[in-house]
Structure 1
Amino acid sequence: MSQPVKISGVIITFNEEKNIARCINSMQSVCDEILVVDSYSTDRTKAICSDLGVRFLENKWGGFLEQKNFAQDQARFDYVLQLDADEELSDQLRIEIQKLKENWQADGYSFNRFTNFCGKWIKHSGWYPDAKLRLYDRRKGEWKGLDPHPAVEMSAESSTGKIKGDLLHYSYISYDDFVNRSASYARQAAFAMKAMGKRPSHFKMVCSPVFRFFKDYVLRGGFRDGIEGYLICKTAAYYTFLKYLYLKLIESGKLSS
């Protein structure tokens, strides 16, 4: 491209006063606008965004998938960098994105996400390397998949690349938070699966958690992350079990939204 591309930094939020400033500040040097789409936070999220001078819109929450697509559609520029509020760009990743602005080649770019769990950076357990496609031409990509973990999917004719640098993710500050959120996410995933016409499976409910733990703890080296790795892998298996259990309860009419 002869002209540098302009990038819209996009973030969705709800009660993110502890994280949002860090996320926004990390995007300032590479984004030509920063847009925050908030789900009517009751904390200081709106005030912090106002102080930092970003565009701030409010939209009723309809799930991660719906909100992320709504947010990208509100951006002023077609090239979008979409992060979560508990993420920030590392120094190296900012440098690589700045280079891309001068020489944009592919339609979308991925990079690794590096997660901090209760104060420890996790290098295995299925959490790293954790490639995420978050920098893309919205005309050729959109968010798809199951809540609460949708992902950007590019159109069939599009091209993708990968760049150096980590997206730093400050995930959980306590074990209780991790377990409780995993249960909540499993419930959301079950309703999303039901909406897609998926049926409950006793086999998957029993066997999938066992395989998930073996894959993450043994094959993906979770044991190398110490007690944190064990907790991460065990909770991932618990999430998988709950997801299929909730789907079974929904199907039987014993669980409703």
Structure 2
Amino acid sequence: MPTLPLTLAVITHNEADNIARCLDSVPFAAEKLVIDSGSDDDTVAIAQAHGARVMRQTWLGFGPQRNFATTQCSHDWILVLDADEYLTPELATELQQRLPALMASNTPAAYLRRSTIYMGAPMRWYRPAVGEQMARLYHRGRARWSDARVHESLHFDGTAPTLGAPFNHTNNPTLAHKQLKVLRYAELKCRDWLDKGKPVRMWQAPFVFALAFLKDYLFRLAFMDGWRGFMIAHTAASYAIYKRMRYYEMVKNPESVARAAHILSHHGIDR
């Protein structure tokens, strides 16, 4: 298949089960770059076997890690995927057709639509999991990732087109994976809040869970996806309140930051 002057950039840590599918879904990328933060499984070997150039980089946080990856790419145009994401054949075809004109323009970036597979099946109604628009294709001279440790975003000026076909996200193969991810993401978000000196507002806590649950379950249509929708809304609400309680603990008991980092690292969660 003809290649295009594009780098597929993926950040990894113990993604042996996913990385081959991710890399193989972008056969037209002239370069495939994997930035690995210390995997102790077969991630690196599998990535290399599937045509990727692998670099090691100690974990910096999601935003800084993506910005580091940007500096290591051989091409100005970059497609970012997580290891548990992959292009559908329809999106791969659309990208091949539209990329030459996009690259020849002054467009800073493009949005892709993400479809989520949760508990083994696609979500059909829950709005954030059905066609969620995400800026994942960009020119590195015209866009930059935020420096947030988690929930990073791509910043750029001007307008960006949205492609029609989706890419897939296999969102946490089990509920156990999801709960571990909640712990990790909450810890990273709280450290960002700590760095910024965010005020502690525990008076919000009694309302946070209920409002977060209702937002996802009713207004974002999670209830239409049955019990899977209930679980995804419940997990989102639990995350919303847990990170506030954890931040309160960090402020009131600063030594808990290091102690938590130690136990999370011991279980392979903190990086």
Which TM-score applies when normalising by structure 2? 0.88
How far apart in 2 are the matches of 1:204 and 1:161?
38
Name the amino acid aligned to 1:134: R
| Partners of 1:92 and 1:164 within 8 A in 2 | no
- d(CA) in 1 for partners of 2:135 and 2:204? 28
Three-state SS of the structure 2 residue aligned to 1:146 is coil
Distance 2:64 2:147 in 1: 11
Residue of structure 1 equivalent to 2:125: 124
Contact 1:9 1:35 in 2 (8 A): yes
Structure 2: tracts of 5 or more residues without a match: 259-271
Q: Does 162-171 or 121-130 show the bigger shift?
A: 121-130
In structure 2, distance between residues paired with 1:161 and 1:28: 22
Cα distance in 1 between the residues matched to 2:124 and 2:199: 35
Shift of 1:145: 5.7
Name the structure 1 match of 2:229.
229
Q: Residues 88-137 of structure 1: CA distance to partner in whole angstroms, max 9, x if unpaired?
A: 01111111211222211422111211111120111233322311100011
Q: Please give the secondary structure, in 1, of the residue aligned with 2:41.
A: coil
RMSD after superposition: 1.6
TM normalised by structure 1 equals: 0.92
* C-alpha distance in 2 between matches for 1:40 and 1:64: 15
- Give the Cα–Cα distance (whole angstroms) in 2 for the partners of residues 204 and 132 of structure 1: 30
Q: Distance in 1 between matches of 2:206 and 2:166?
A: 35
Residue 197 of structure 1 deviates from its aligned partner by 2.5
- How many percent identity over aligned positions? 28
What amino acid does structure 2 have at the position aligned with 1:205? A
Tell me whether 1:163 sits opposite 2:158 in the alignment.
no
Partner of 1:95: 93
Q: Which moved more, 1:245-254 or 1:84-93?
A: 245-254
Cα shift at 1:223: 0.4
| Structure 1 residue runs of 4 or more that deviate by more than 4 Å after TM superposition | none
The one-letter code matched in structure 2 to 1:7 is L
Q: Secondary structure at the match of 2:17?
A: coil
Compared CA separation, residues 103 and 27, structure 1 to 2 (3 A): same
**In structure 2, distance between residues paired with 1:127 and 1:145:** 25
1:125-177 Cα deviation digits (max 9, x unpaired): 332231110001111111116332212111x3x33110111110011111122
CA distance in 2, matches of 1:145, 1:229: 31
Paired residues, number? 251
Q: Structure 1's 250 and 220: CA in aligned 2 closer, same or farther, altered over 3 A?
A: same
Structure 1 stretches lacking a partner, 5+ long: none
**Residue 61 of structure 1, aligned match among 53, 59, 62:** 59
1:39 matches 2:37: yes
Distance 1:134 1:11 in 2: 11
Counterpart Cα distance in 2 of 1:184 and 1:49: 24
Question: Which position in structure 1 is the counterpart of 2:5?
Answer: 6
For residues 95-244 of structure 1, the aligned pairs below 5 Å read 95-104=93-102, 105=105, 106-125=107-126, 126-144=128-146, 146-154=148-156, 156=157, 158-244=158-244
SS of residue in 2 equivalent to 1:56: strand
Name the CA distance, whole Å, in 2 between partners of 1:93 and 1:145.
29
Kindly state the Cα deviation for residue 205 of structure 1 after the two structures are TM-superposed. 2.8
Q: What is the one-letter code of the residue matched to 2:185?
A: Y
- Between the aligned partners of 2:245 and 2:147, the Cα distance in structure 1 is 20
2-structure distance, mates of 1:144, 1:241: 24
| Aligned counterparts of 2:24 and 2:187: Cα–Cα separation in 1 | 33
Q: Aligned residue for 1:27?
A: 26
Greater Cα shift, 160-169 or 181-190? 181-190
207-216 or 228-237, larger mean C-alpha shift? 207-216
| Cα deviation, residue 17, structure 1 | 0.4
Give 1:5 deviation, angstroms: 6.4
Q: Verify the 8 A CA contact 2:111 2:136 in the aligned structure 1.
A: yes
Write the distance in 2 (CA, Å) between the matches of 1:82 and 1:65: 12
Q: Matches of 2:148 and 2:237 in 1, distance apart?
A: 18
User: In the aligned structure 2, how far is the partner of 1:172 from the partner of 1:223?
Assistant: 20
Name the SS for the 1:256 alignment partner. helix
Q: In structure 2, how many angstroms separate the alpha carbons of the residues matched to 1:198 and 1:145?
A: 16
| Residue 75 of structure 1: how far off its partner (Å) | 0.4
